[in-house]
Structure 1
Amino acid sequence: MDWAILLYISALIAAVAFAVLVIFLVRTLRSANRTLEHTANTVANLEKQLNGITIETEQLLNKTNRLADDIQQKTESVNSLFTSVKDLGQSVTQFNQSIKQVSNSVTTQVGEQSENIAKAVNWGTTALDLYTKFKLRKQHLDEPIKTQGGN
């Protein structure tokens, strides 16, 4: 009997231990279930937020693409303006070169003709001197004739 009572007491202790174990397991599983529900809610909220962020990101990307296209068009317009300015600069450079060539040509011709001009001035001066002397001599010769004819 002793063994039978010990066997019953052991079975009773095992049953109580199993009941306590089941109670703690149930509590733990309920706590884990609540934690999983909170995690599921959090994941659902994150999914909604990510969907919102995804939509906003797509809108931002579309706006960025439109802005990039606009910048590209404006850059092409500015490029044509710079091309025009470059062409104008080249025209002005060519005009300046033409002016320099004309100036150099005039300077060269004046240099070449300066000797002829100097000769012409000398001949002109000499001719003027001769004319003046001729006039003075003619006046000087005409004076005695006038005085003789009047007597």
Structure 2
Amino acid sequence: MNVILYLSVALIAIAFFILVIYLVKTLKTVQGMLQSLTKTIEGIEKQMNEIGTETTQLLHKTNAVADDVQKKVESLNAVFDAVKQVGATVQTFNDSLTKKLTANEQKVAQVVQWGNALLEIWEKWKEKKNK
């Protein structure tokens, strides 16, 4: 019976040894996977830092472009105001010119009427002279 007990203990020790070997292999595999995961996470952290830096630079450039656009819009507003003033001046000039032409139109009409009257008198005088 002692032999069976020794054999049983030896068999249990061998099984435990095999179990330990498989556990060691499994733990080494898990360790390798964790190291790979750690490297991947470190790479992702580095990429995230780079993305953050690039995003900050892009934001600064966007703000600079927005400021530039705002300045250009303000300068265009000044140009549009100047064009508007020129348009108002031209309109005032046209109105003034139209008024003067209207006033002179009556004088021209009178001159034409006088001219027609003089031509009629001239033709009548010519007719009298010819008779």
Deviation, structure 1 residue 50: 1.8
Q: Which amino acid letter does the alignment assign opposite residue 110 of structure 1?
A: V
Structure 2 equivalent of residue 90 of structure 1: 88
Structure 2 equivalent of residue 48 of structure 1: 46
Decide whether aligned partners of structure 1 residues 9 and 110 sit closer, same or farther in structure 2, where only a CA change above 3 A counts. same
How far apart, CA to CA, are the structure 1 residues paired with 2:107 and 2:16? 128
**C-alpha RMSD over aligned residues:** 3.0
Structure 1 equivalent of residue 29 of structure 2: 31
Decide whether aligned partners of structure 1 residues 108 and 20 sit closer, same or farther in structure 2, where only a CA change above 3 A counts. farther
Q: Which amino acid letter does the alignment assign opposite residue 59 of structure 1?
A: Q
Q: Deviations over 1:53-88 (max 9, x none)?
A: 212221221122112112211210111011101110
Deviation, structure 1 residue 122: 4.7
Larger-gyration structure (1/2): 1
Unaligned runs of 5+ in 1: 134-151
Aligned residues: 129
Q: Which runs of structure 2 are paired with 1:66-145 in the superposition (5 Å)?
A: 66-112=64-110, 114-120=112-118, 122=120, 125=122
Q: TM-score, normalised by structure 1?
A: 0.67
**Could you tell me the percent identity over the aligned residues?**
38
